Structure 1
Amino acid sequence: MVEFAPLAMPWERRLQTFGILLWVFSFLVLPQLCIAAFIGLLHTRFWLCAVLYAAWWCVDRDTPQQGGRRVEALRRCILWKHMRDYFPIALVKTAELDPSRNYVAGIHPHGIMVAGAFLNLCTESTGFSALFPGIRQYLMTLPVFFRVPFLRDYFMSFGLVTSDKESGAHVLSRKEGGSLLAIVVGGAREMLDARPGAYTLVLRHRKGFVRLALEHGAALVPIFSFGENELYDQVKNPPGSWLRQIQNRLQQVMGFSFPLFHGHGVFQDSFGFVPYRRPITTVVGKPIEVQKTLHPSKEEVDQLHQRYLKELCNLFETHKLKYNVPAEQHLEFC
């Protein structure tokens, strides 16, 4: 039976819902809309605008790999504060970050749409700059988003950069320090396990971020968003099922996952793509000191990776009871 939302709602809640809709729209609809707009312009009297943009795109093609082009006015837009209050989302600091150092931060878990990572690192709605003065944060995402006209510029304005080694090396090459490169380590594969009560991380064989930290002498920072997996329900797709096999194949071919998820709608609470109103608390752990090693061996990478897993587990165990995680629940790695 469909449960309709009440008609009489405070304006504050309506603004929160609008902010959420804009965020969902950016991931699910905006890429296709941008492609259609670019092609459409070519078939109108404004075709020259599309041609000039294409020319600019060629000149500017390397910018997503060179730190992007953030727009602070957009990052500080009040709309993101309404989105923050929708869940709500909070950012918790457990240790200082020295602005004279560079950092590689692992974000866990991925969830369906990385709401915690987006609001905490791509906007100032939770006060990241006030909590960590002198730190300039960058969040990596799939290169495919930067191959979409107009969308690439919109994403770069939030501080998003491409998820490849060249992009990471550019951010971490700042000799004066103060850069934090955030990587959602579990990536697209981890989306397929994102559901309420799930604490399985795709991390056991993900070591590229550790090698990157060693090569640049950047401290490793574990970050865990409690509540990230609670935002959507997902159709059951256990490993080995026909649905999971299809999803894995699509991921291999296209580079991103297709989880069958749902939350609630705008005018009814039974089904839709709007996330549930459930709190997210993103806890930033203590930095792990890393000795710069230009050509780290496999043993050095493995050793640091094991230490990272231990520190991430400690972070989870220390804070889980505060954020309604059962005492018997532990992180699992695959």
Structure 2
Amino acid sequence: MKKLCFLFAFLLVLSSCSSDDNTVAPVEGEDVQVKSRLVVSATATDVTVGEVVEFTAKDKSGAVVEEAKFVVNSSSISAKHAFDKAGQYAVSAIHKDFAGSNEVVINVGKATLELRLSHKEVTEGETVTFQVFNGEEELSSGVKIYEVGSEKALEQMTYVAKTSGLVSFVAKGEGFIDSNQVSLTVLEDKIPYQDTLVLSGDAFEIDAVSFDFDVKEVNGENVGTVKKTTDGAYANQYTLIIRNKANDKAGRSFIFVDIWVINPTIKVNSDGEVTDYGKRVLPTNDNTIVRSVYSSIKGYEVSDTFNKLHESELKIRKFEVKELDAKARADGETELMFNYESLDGAFKLEFKYNGEMYVKDYKS
């Protein structure tokens, strides 16, 4: 019985070995083709955004495979490629006759923009043009120009110099390091203002110009009412009053322009209470904020407050009065310009004045 069991086990092992021998073996003399891999190289592996890299694919003999396609992140790229964003990119090659390729890692860093200005010095009212470069390439899109200190980009690649002084600019773009700063010197336009009052294209003569100084009575004296700006500064309010002469277009009436004048002499405690109303400060180009525009001239009505103001420009060349703190009315002279256009474009104001005016207290 034991012999029979041993014989059965022996035959079982023999059968198993015979099964393994049935595997297919290469026929002697047959030529088996195994696909080789492409070898990818690049002209540079450390570049900046916008810099061109040229890729080459070769076979194992060193011959260039012209038909090879280059791939990065499953997307095809050309043999000469410029990366538009900073990062690390693995580039490989594919071809139907080859079993893939090695990967070449390209490190792309942010490029620094270069900002150029058409003029370094202009007169008020003149226009300058900007150019932005990435290396030798001039960029026409994807970049914005900012006035230094402002978070709002210019609408175009040009700038109209409105106020005399020094102004600086910088170019910014996604994937780039901010450009160098360029500075522009704006010279004051010395040509005196000629009296002008144009409402929506119609000309009027100016009858009178004055300013109201908004006051309230404190301890028997008139003091300037205190306003707080969105920046946390304290100011007084003046109202520019323009009176037109009647003509065949409209009768005699008024235009009112409220402006806030920053007053650093005002003192306020931690509870927001005014402890010192300070001295009266005259309007200048640097301390005024336009708050509202109102016209009661029939056919040229407008009432726009600060949150509706669209395009406004106030320039004060001269504002001189005598004994402003000592009188309820102080005579003086001014040279100023104010332009305004409503959001819907229905009302436009062009105003220039060079002559006598007066300032008087006004209790609102």
TM-score band w.r.t. shorter chain: under 0.3
Identify the structure with the greater strand proportion. Answer: 2
Rg larger for = 2
Structure with greater contact order relative to length (CA < 8 Å, sep ≥ 6): 1
TM-score w.r.t. length of structure 1:
0.22
